[in-house]
Amino acid sequence: ILKKEQCGIDQNLYLLAGSGGLTTWDVFIIGQPWNQSRTMNNGIYSVNHNTRITQWEDPRNQGQLNEKPLPEGWEMRFTVDGIPYFVDHNRRTTTYIDPRTGKSAFENGPQIAYVWDFKAKVQYFRFWCQQLAMPQHIKITVTRKTLFEDSFQQIMSFSPQDLRRRLWVIFPGEEGLDYGGVAREWFFLLSHEVLNPMYCLFEYAGKDNYCLQINPASYINPDHLKYFRFICRFIAMALFHGKFIDTGFSLPFYKRILNKPVGLKDLESIDPEFYNSLIWVKENNIEECDLEMYFSIDKEILGEIKSHDLKPNGGNILVTEENKEEYIRIVAEWRLSRGVEEQTQAFFEDFNEILPQQYLQYFDAKELEVLLCGIQEIDLNDWQRHAIYHHYTRTSKQIMWFWQFVKEIDNEKRMRLLHNGPQKFCIEKVGKENWLPRRHTCFNRLDLPPYKSYEQLKEKLLFVIEETEGFGQE
């Protein structure tokens, strides 16, 4: 046994000759047993049996060791070129992205695009929430009659980091050990209060859309910015502690939480009429139609109509064929924000302090909604019974294949196919067999090309469900 000091490593190393003394040997670093072997090409790699990490670099020559373990069920391996990649044995998938850092092995190049299914993303997210959790707990004592104000006063009295501690929620007169059930009830009840449009902080996204968005008239409450900071903390806490809330936001709002850009297509889910009018402007020659439009728009707040310039002196700038793309972009941005920039800034002020947005980067808007609000089991029989078809019939082979596919996938994937709305779900025959399916959220319609086999239909649908955000929606 040889004992030696190795530069850059504080621990003592013990080198044990293995079988034959040439092909394998064990290196023990105090608390971390390593095994080294040769490949067929005489390459030497090391395996740490505690952290399940495999690496080309000799641990005795490392400047420092990454001792943070991989999530449960994960393993690190290397390609024949020595490039590290990661195996998720839970989902039987591989990726070049390190689940501990979210970064690709190609440090000097673009990150490798990799898509997890929803369950794997949630597992990764929960792992990091556990790593960020603070020790001990905090007490939140509230009464049911004054739930809003009690919760506001106490949540705002804690530092953002304190809100990562385990929650001990107490309703006076109902004391008992909180194993999660009381906290779960508190999140549900409080979300019903703070997100209630009657408080004028939020409003419904549209006439037939009961998702919430920030109310432009919320300024009538002099403390509205403080309340938005409070609600921001509450939402971040719900995500961090894995609790569901009673109601949800519009998809563009979830994209803002994810720090993703919003644009024209996002309008379709909250204001389909306005979206369609902008699409008409985009696709037609407005000068030939003799439309007189300016870079200004009328808005109604508390029953009063006011004119709003979309750019300086916009009321005097005519929209033409030459500048209509700029008009569409600006007016879409306005419709999605509608003068609530100050409220939005207040809402997100403490979010990162409680839950860094980087840990949500793998979710899209729809997945974030499920993470925050949960998901109801879809009634397949009811869905199929009320579906309608254009240029297909119930007995068309593509339709029969579609419902066979729906029965085989899990509930999360079904949610990506089904968009809840006032109109019935419609499948329309559109395109050629080499086209991808396309979803129109505005009309609750799925464009399904006439595929020639079930395998082809399954492949195309799985591709757009798992690898495209928004399903190529229009």
| Banded model confidence at residue 59, pLDDT cuts 50, 70, 90 | low
Residues 440 and 466 in one domain: yes
Work out the average pLDDT over 141-159. Answer: 94
Of the listed ranges 30-34, 54-58, 122-126, 192-196, the one predicted with least confidence: 30-34
The residues carrying an active-site annotation are: 442
Task: Tell me how far the alpha carbon of residue 293 is from its chain's centroid.
Answer: 37
CA distance 124 to 70: 10
Residues 97 and 155 in one domain: no
What is the per-residue pLDDT across 407-445, written as a single tens digit (0 to 9) for each? 998 877 787 777 544 467 899 999 888 888 887 765 678
Of the listed ranges 63-67, 321-325, 337-341, 403-407, the one predicted with least confidence: 63-67
Amino acid (1-letter code) at residue 387: A
**Position with higher pLDDT, 301 vs 404:** 404
Q: Name the DSSP letter for residue 198.
A: G
CATH number at residue 279: 3.30.2160.10
Contact predicate 339/215, CB 8 Å = no
Residues 163 and 241 in one domain: yes
Decide if 43 is inside a domain. yes
Residues 272 and 335 in one domain: yes
Angle, alpha carbons 340-344-345 (nearest 5°): 120
CATH number at residue 74: 2.20.70.10
pLDDT for position 131: 86
Decide if 195 is inside a domain. yes
Contact predicate 421/445, CB 8 Å = no
Residues 86 and 156 in one domain: no
Half-sphere exposure of 282 (CA within 13 A, CB side): 15
Decide if 232 is inside a domain. yes
Residues 420 and 331 in one domain: no
Residues 234 and 356 in one domain: yes
pTM of structure: 0.61
Residues 241 and 283 in one domain: no
Dihedrals φ, ψ of 352, to 5°?
-65, -25
Residues 220 and 360 in one domain: yes
Decide if 33 is inside a domain. yes
pLDDT for position 271: 84
What is the per-residue pLDDT across 81-102, written as a single tens digit (0 to 9) for each? 556 778 888 777 777 777 877 7
Amino acid (1-letter code) at residue 337: S
Domain count within the chain: 4
Residues 331 and 440 in one domain: no
CA distance 430 to 440: 12
Boundary (domain end) residue, out of 317, 339, 361? 339
Half-sphere exposure of 24 (CA within 13 A, CB side): 6
Mean pLDDT, rounded, of the chain: 78
Decide if 142 is inside a domain. yes
CA dihedral sign, ordered 267, 270, 276, 281: negative
CA distance 237 to 166: 10
CA end-to-end distance (rounded Å), the chain = 68
Decide if 125 is inside a domain. no
Of the listed ranges 8-12, 143-147, 282-286, the one predicted with least confidence: 8-12
Decide if 126 is inside a domain. no
**Position with higher pLDDT, 307 vs 474:** 307
pLDDT for position 92: 72
Boundary (domain end) residue, out of 120, 149, 165? 120
Contact predicate 436/472, CB 8 Å = yes
pLDDT at 1 over 80: no
pLDDT for position 206: 73
CA distance 437 to 459: 11
Decide if 192 is inside a domain. yes
Residues 256 and 363 in one domain: yes
pLDDT for position 450: 94
pLDDT at 15 over 60: no
User: Which domain range does residue 205 map to?
Assistant: 137-261+344-373
Express as a percent the part of the chain with pLDDT over 70. 75
Residues 242 and 279 in one domain: no
